[in-house]
């Protein structure tokens, strides 16, 4: 497997981490072709996660927009309510095959922590989740979930007490306990081989969608649309269509607006640098310090993006656009009313883009949106927004 996507990716880590990455690379190369491993993963994806997820023609939204035919890939219907479980289940199964006894991860909003704790419990491995103290306060519900699932949540009090500090602590733990510990990364980010591993475990999303749309519409779609935080649900949808004449559109979070500086759109408005062991577009100051990301969607609030997306941007294979918090909140409400589906705020970004540009598509065009998760987790945020909006 290659460590670079064009000039992006690589392994910008201390020497002590290299041993662990090499071991992981070798194990993944072996098990991805191992019949028993593949059979076991497929069975858990079917019986535990609930795959295949449906591909649903959103009649309400399609009718309302009078635009292209819109299909939703329903990752919101998976166990735990988002695509993240596809990856954590795969990685924890890999950890078990490698003989590891202990799982660690870091989490910002808590969603990756919950998905990791779920998979660790399923396979009977102990689990520790690093989380910044600020995030622990903001995401009390997910902390409760992780604890219920039997994980230990380790508070990180250094730096800004958020995700990037939790990443540092998780890496330190991994290097110290490498012989029995597996580090689960939650998106197509981090040093090689993680971006490839996570893409391969999310590949199932696009593979199913490709078969489903051919059956439903008799042909491939014209456009695929997915939100981009780290970029795993987008990579999972795009990858199986890599050689097809299908447009890829990744939607980043413009937060309060790109010009406000408060956004989470490294591909649209960032510069190339190194974060989390990988070279990619990211949000940074003139001095090269990582800037804070802003988005109403907890899962899009990350200052970097997967290196493969940076390459797809430069080669123009994919287009990257952004939508604001406000536009995403509108789409959240719209899809709830048109089709009775409450989408995650992250996925609402992808929906919002299609709503905004509906008139630019032809009526017979087929658009597939990855509905990466369900919105139940976001009700407090949305209720707060609606309250403020009604007072204005």
Ligand X SMILES: *Cc1c(COP(=O)(O)O)cnc(C)c1O
- Residues designated as active site: 84, 106, 372
Short-list 322, 319, 349, CA closest to 258: 322
Q: Contact, 9 vs 25, CB < 8 A?
A: no
Q: Which residue minimizes CB distance to ligand X?
A: 373
Sign of CA dihedral 173, 196, 349, 270: positive
> Residues binding ligand X: what is the number (CB under 6 A)?
18
Pick from 193, 230, 273, 277 the residue near ligand X by CB under 6 A.
Answer: 230
Q: Nearer to ligand X by C-beta: 69 or 74?
A: 74
Residues 82-101 touching ligand X, rule: CB under 6 A, are 82, 84
Contact between 275 and ligand X (CB under 6 A)?
A: no
Smallest gap, in angstroms, from Cβ of residue 27 to ligand X? 22
Helix, strand and coil content of the chain, in percent to the nearest 5, comes to 50, 20, 30
Options 86, 111, 280, 310; binder of ligand X; rule CB under 6 A: 111
Which stretch in 36-44, 175-183, 214-222, 224-232 sits in contact with ligand X by CB under 6 A?
A: 224-232
Query: Least Å distance between CB 335 and ligand X?
Result: 14
Residue 329 φ/ψ region, left for φ over 0, alpha for ψ in the -120 to 50 degree band, beta for the rest: alpha
Identity of the residue, 300 or 366, whose beta carbon is nearer to ligand X in the bound complex:
300
x/- site string to ligand X, residues 345 to 374, per CB under 6 A? -xx------------------------xx-
The minimum distance between CB 359 and ligand X, in angstroms, equals 26
CB of 221 to ligand X, least distance (A): 19
The least distance separating ligand X from the CB of residue 349, rounded to whole angstroms, comes to 8
Report the alpha-carbon distance of residue 298 to residue 280 in Å, rounded.
21
Estimate the crossing angle of helix 307-314 against helix 194-217, to 10 degrees: 60
Q: Does 299 contact ligand X by CB under 6 A? A: yes
Cα 71 from chain centre: 20
Cα-flanking dihedrals φ and ψ of residue 319, to 5°? Answer: -110, 145
β-strand pairing of 278-282 with 223-227: unpaired
Q: Specify the pairing of strand 55-57 against strand 69-74.
A: antiparallel
Binding site for ligand X (CB under 6 A): 82, 84, 111, 187, 227-233, 299-300, 344, 346-347, 372-373
């Amino acid at each position: 497997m290659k460590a670079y996507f064009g000039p992006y990716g690589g392994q910008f880590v201390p020497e002590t981490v290299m041993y662990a990455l090499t071991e992981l690379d070798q194990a993944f190369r072996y098990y991805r072709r191992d019949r028993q491993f593949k059979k076991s993963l497929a069975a858990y994806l079917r019986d535990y996660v609930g795959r295949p997820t449906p591909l649903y023609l959103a009649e309400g939204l399609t009718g309302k927009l009078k635009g292209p035919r819109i299909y939703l890939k329903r990752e919101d219907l998976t166990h735990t309510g988002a695509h993240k479980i596809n990856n954590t289940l795969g990685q924890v199964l890999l950890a078990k095959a490698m003989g590891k006894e202990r799982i660690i991860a870091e989490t910002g909003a808590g969603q990756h922590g919950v998905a990791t704790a779920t998979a660790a419990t399923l396979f009977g491995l102990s689990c520790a989740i690093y989380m910044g103290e600020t995030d622990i306060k903001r995401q009390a519900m997910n902390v409760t979930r992780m604890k219920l699932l039997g994980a230990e949540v380790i508070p990180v009090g250094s730096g800004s007490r958020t995700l990037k500090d939790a990443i540092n602590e998780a890496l330190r733990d991994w290097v110290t306990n490498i012989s029995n510990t597996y580090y689960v990364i939650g998106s197509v980010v981090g040093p090689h081989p993680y971006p490839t591993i996570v893409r391969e475990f999310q590949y199932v999303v696009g593979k199913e969608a490709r078969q489903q749309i051919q059956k439903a519409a008799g042909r491939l779609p014209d456009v695929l649309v997915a939100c981009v935080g780290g970029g795993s649900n987008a990579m999972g949808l795009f990858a199986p269509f890599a050689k097809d004449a299908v447009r890829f559109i990744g939607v980043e979070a413009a937060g309060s607006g790109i010009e406000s500086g408060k956004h989470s759109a490294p591909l649209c408005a960032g510069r190339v640098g190194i974060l989390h062991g990988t070279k990619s577009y990211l949000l940074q100051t003139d001095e090269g310090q990582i800037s804070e990301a802003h988005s109403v969607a907890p899962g899009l609030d990350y200052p970097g993006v997967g290196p493969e997306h940076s390459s797809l941007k430069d080669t123009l294979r994919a287009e990257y656009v952004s939508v604001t918090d406000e536009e995403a909140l509108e789409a959240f409400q719209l899809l709830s009313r048109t089709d009775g589906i409450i989408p995650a705020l992250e996925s609402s970004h992808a929906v919002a883009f299609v709503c905004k540009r509906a008139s630019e598509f032809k009526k017979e065009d087929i658009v597939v949106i990855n509905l990466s998760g369900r919105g139940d987790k976001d009700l407090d945020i949305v209720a707060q927004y609606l309250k403020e909006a009604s007072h204005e």
